[in-house]
Amino acid sequence: MRIGVFLFPESRNPSADAQVIDEAVEEAKLAEDLGMDAVFLVEHHFDGNCAYVDPATFASALAMATDRIKIGFAVLQTSLYHPLRMAEQISLVDNLSKGRLIVGLGRGSLVNTHEYTGYQIDPDSAQERFEEIEKILLQCWTNEKVAHAGKYWNFEIPMLRPRPYSKPHPQILRSVASEASLSAQARLGRPVLMAAATAAGAARNVGIYRKAAQEAGHSDDAIDRAISESWVARTAVIAPTDKEAVEVGLPYFQQMQTYRAAQSTAFEAMVAKANKQPGLPVLCGAPESLLEDFTSLEKTGIGGVFVRFRTGPMPAAFSTRALRLFMQEIAPHIRMPSLAPATV
């Protein structure tokens, strides 16, 4: 299994933005130094839920600050973009990173409607825009002269520049947030980005994917390959002891939930539903307490996991220690055999 870090740093106070952004860069550099395979970036606007806001711009900074680690988007909120600007930005970062991009695409936030209104986008049009934009991206990256006539965009360009560094283009993965979207991508045989709070949830998703892909006529080898190229997002609160994880780390996660719920009734409903489930609302504990869940996740065949260590107002020192603990005590048990062991 490949291993990544999910950089999703909150900044409630505008005066702290610069510091939190700097800390996110340092976390990405640490992830590379410790042998992680990828760093994934998120996109949120106008609310402090993600300090660096613009993942494409931030990815260009990480491309310069790192040498080896892949840089993924989880995800670009595709419907908020002009497709030509998006194609140029991604192609530029692909060149700057020398082909290290994993382009995760999603329609846009399902809970933060202020992001749509801020960009003057009708949320009801988001899925259609998303579908049209993805087609345009592929046209721009693989053709020279591009003429497009669609519902939302009509243009003709002689050629998109710069050309992608990756041939024929950077890897594209779609984010799936429902069983229907997961099955739809499985029927196309495409790898995906998914979220799963537990290994059991990930196993269920893989089962749904496999069944839909088989019904669409894909071979077992092709299905295994697509699953091996897919990634699952996790959140984990990790500390040297269960006691510290629960008493010190978990409140940061809960404060994140409260902060986001105050901004979005949809997120508030999600939190209320999650908190009704038995047990803790997130993976939380010492590495030895979480190891079984991660080893069970590896057995599903999913190709990679990327972990959000920093939530809410958690200090960077707490989350970077968690990252180190993960790489020292969990990663060696779940890494792909062909990958080098984590170093400290």
Residue 201: give its domain's CATH number. 3.20.20.30
Q: Based on the structure, what is the number of domains in the chain?
A: 1
Q: How far apart are CA 298 and CA 300, in angstroms?
A: 5
pTM: predicted TM-score of the whole model, two decimal places: 0.95
Is 100 inside a domain boundary? no
Residue 37 corresponds to which tokens in the numbers above? 């395979």
Given a contact cutoff of 8 angstroms between Cβ atoms, the answer to whether 168 and 141 are in contact is yes
Given a contact cutoff of 8 angstroms between Cβ atoms, the answer to whether 9 and 26 are in contact is no
Per-run averaged pLDDT (10 residues), the chain, 344 residues: 98 98 98 98 97 98 98 98 98 98 93 92 96 98 97 98 98 96 98 94 97 98 98 98 98 96 91 86 96 97 98 98 98 75 38
Given a contact cutoff of 8 angstroms between Cβ atoms, the answer to whether 211 and 323 are in contact is no
Q: What is the DSSP letter of 342?
A: P
Q: How many CB atoms lie within 10 A of CB 183?
A: 17
Q: What is the DSSP letter of 190?
A: -
Is 143 inside a domain boundary? no
Q: How far apart are CA 257 and CA 262, in angstroms?
A: 9
CB burial readout 153-173, b (16+ within 10 A) else e: eeeebeebeebbbbeebbebb
Q: Could you tell me the residue range of the domain that residue 42 belongs to?
A: 2-74+176-334
Q: Which of 273, 281, 285 is nearest to 246 (CA)?
A: 285
Residue 97 corresponds to which tokens in the numbers above? 């990173």
Q: How many CB atoms lie within 10 A of CB 283?
A: 20
The length of the chain is 344
Is 65 inside a domain boundary? yes
Contacts of 30 (CB under 8 A, 6+ apart): 320, 323, 324
Is 112 inside a domain boundary? no
Contacts of 76 (CB under 8 A, 6+ apart): 43, 55, 56, 86, 103, 104, 105, 106
Helix (H) or strand (E) holding 270: helix 265-275
pLDDT of residue 58: 98
Given a contact cutoff of 8 angstroms between Cβ atoms, the answer to whether 34 and 344 are in contact is yes
Q: How far apart are CA 180 and CA 186, in angstroms?
A: 10
pLDDT of residue 278: 84
Q: How far apart are CA 177 and CA 106, in angstroms?
A: 9
Q: Which of 339, 328, 320, 333 is nearest to 23 (CA)?
A: 320
Is 121 inside a domain boundary? no
Q: Which of 68, 90, 74 is nearest to 8 (CA)?
A: 74
Is 60 inside a domain boundary? yes
Is 157 inside a domain boundary? no
Q: Which of 194, 181, 187 is nearest to 304 (CA)?
A: 194
Q: How far apart are CA 7 and CA 46, in angstroms?
A: 18
Q: How far apart are CA 26 and CA 316, in angstroms?
A: 10
Is 83 inside a domain boundary? no
